[in-house]
Amino acid sequence: MKKVFALVMALVMALGLCSFASAEGQKVGVSMPTKDLQRWNQDGENMQKLLEEAGYTVDLQFASNDVQQQLNQVTNMINSGCEVVVIAAIEGSSLGSALDLAKEKGIPVIAYDRLLMDSDAVSYYATFDNYMVGTKQGTYIKEALDLENAEGPFALEITAGDPGDNNARYFYQGAIDVLQPYLDAGKLTVKSGQIDFTDVATPTWKTEVAQTRADGILASYYSDGSSIDAWLCSNDSTALGVTNALDANYDGDWPIITGQDCDISNVKNMIAGKQAMSVFKDTRTLAAQVVKMVGQILAGETVDVNDTETYNNNVIVVPSFLCEPVFADVNNYAELLLDSGYYTADQLQ
Ligand code: BGC
């Protein structure tokens, strides 16, 4: 009996050692939506660097905002031996067949920043608290206009994100929940009448798309010289479109413009007084958290999550880790972005 026990223990240890030894060089797939936006380049680079430092081999792909391309890339990752796949989806609900394949092969999938929808093959989700991003934008406008005390009415316009990205509604809702009482009380008015998410959304989050819509709003509702006090923008790429439109077609007092990501052009606009705030989501923090998750999954350990209720993808509630976003403006950008080494002073010149 003792002999059998010793044999079993030797086998268990050997297997344990084997799996530990093979952790070196294990392949991890990282699928990012596009290289067009600064943030995804940073996310991809950070993930690759940290994973490689931890001893993994990395298959990093960017999908040019093309859903079919991302589907092919993820399918290849799964077929070519990746043991965990990390995906920031272009469209949360368009990767169904690749996710089915991952499930069939027992490969864990981590949704990165954007939730993967309509599938039970999503193991974990890591993101910044998306609703909180919106509340920070809404609160910034509320405080800057002193909506509690000032009489108003103030003119507001709204530009939201891509309807195919599950995050976009959270950003929008977080901000609207803060501003709704003032809209109801008539302290905030939206001259264009475009308030519902579907009316203010920006397909693909593209600067040009946001700019064209803003051009139209300015021409139709503000060409009489009336002012805009605030323009709620869900992120920096859309804020840039709105800023460009205002630069070209608006002479009134400059409105408070919100954003998110602290992209370099937008931080420059913040310094120049053209964008009031952005939300800083330190992609180094998110990448580090996801690399930790990958390690925990592959070691069979409990995976750190801090939210098991919010992110229902229409099939399951995905266990999530939410990092905390912080607001950035001209007063704190240097501390947040320069002192922390996120950017160098030269990059913001
Ligand atoms: C991200 C934002 C980003 C937007 C456009 C969202 O899913 O959370 O940080 O600005 O996509 O790429």
Ligand 1 contact, 207 CB (< 6 A): no
Per-residue confidence (pLDDT) for residue 22, from 0 to 100: 42
Cα of 90 vs centre of ligand 1, distance in Å, is 10
Give pLDDT tens digits along the chain (349 positions): 444 434 444 443 343 333 333 457 899 999 999 999 999 999 999 999 999 999 999 999 999 999 999 999 999 999 999 999 999 999 999 999 999 999 999 999 999 999 999 999 999 999 999 999 999 999 999 999 999 999 999 999 999 999 999 999 999 999 999 999 999 999 999 999 999 999 999 999 999 999 999 999 999 999 999 999 999 999 999 999 999 999 999 999 999 999 999 999 999 999 999 999 999 999 999 999 999 999 999 999 999 999 999 999 999 999 999 999 999 999 999 999 999 999 999 999 9
Q: Measured in angstroms, how far is the CA atom of residue 55 from the centroid of ligand 1?
A: 29
Kindly report the backbone phi and psi dihedral angles of residue 20, in degrees, each rounded to the nearest multiple of 5, phi listed first: -65, -45
pLDDT value of residue 11? 42
Cβ(283) – ligand 1 distance below 6 Å: no
Mutation probe of ligand 1 site: the residue of 64, 165, 322 with most atoms within 8 A of C-beta: 165
Compute CA distances 307 → 204, 300, 318, whole Å: 27, 20, 9
Report H helices in 185-260. 197-200, 207-221, 236-249
Which residue, 331, 166, 141, is CA-closest to 232? 141
* Cα–Cα distance for residue pair 210/104, rounded to 1 Å: 40
Q: What are the chain's domains?
A: 2-129+282-325 (3.40.50.2300), 130-280 (3.40.50.2300)
275 in contact with ligand 1, CB cutoff 6 A = no
Given this model, what pLDDT does residue 239 score?
98
